[in-house]
Amino acid sequence: MVAVQDALLSQMRRGTLQYCVLALLAKEERYGFDLVRGLAEVDGMVTSEGTIYPLLSRLRRDGLVESSWQESTAGPPRRYYRLTDAGRTALEGFRLEWRRFRDAVDHFVERNARS
């Protein structure tokens, strides 16, 4: 792939990844490993699983997610992440904007787009 496209794709992925994390946590609280594997399951979203942790750390600092320890039946206690109210608001805001943006781009670049 052309270098410019590569950089663009990786920037878009980086920019949207945090909202994918927020969306995953909106459904239910998850512990790190579970969350990371959930993201990695979808092809093309995450190349290095470890890079999710700096993002989680940042989201926590920004007050969009919070974490708490919970006992686990399978081993040592786990750190669970959950969405805060601010996180929910941020996600909702992104959803609206993303739909508009996605539709706008689709309008032009989709092969079968209505012209």
Partner 1 sequence: MKPTTERLVDDYLKQLDSELADLPRLRRKEIVEEISEHIAEARAASPSQGEAEIRTLLDRLGDPAEIASEAKERFGVQPRKSRALEIATLLLLLVGGVVLPVIGWLIGVVLLWVSDAWDSRDKLIGTLVVPGGLLLPLALLTIGTSAGGGCSTPVPAAGAREAAACIDGSGGINVLSLIAVTVLLLAPLATTAYLARRMRRPTATAL
Q: Which residues bind partner 1 (CB under 8 A)?
A: 3, 6-7, 10-11, 14, 31-33, 36, 40, 47-51, 53-58, 61, 74-76, 78-79
In the complex, least distance from residue 10 CB atom to partner 1, rounded to whole angstroms? 5
3 residue type, one letter: A
Nearer to partner 1, 46 or 83 (CB): 46
In whole angstroms, what is the distance from residue 48 CA to residue 20 CA?
16
Nearer to partner 1, 77 or 100 (CB): 77
42 residue type, one letter: V
Give the C-alpha distances (Å, rounded to integers) separating 58 from 8, 18, 62, 102, 111. Answer: 22, 10, 6, 26, 38
In the complex, least distance from residue 43 CB atom to partner 1, rounded to whole angstroms? 14
Nearer to partner 1, 24 or 40 (CB): 40
Nearer to partner 1, 10 or 106 (CB): 10
In the complex, least distance from residue 72 CB atom to partner 1, rounded to whole angstroms? 9
Residues 23/24/30/35 CA torsion (nearest 10 deg): -130
The token duo for 112 is: 């079968």
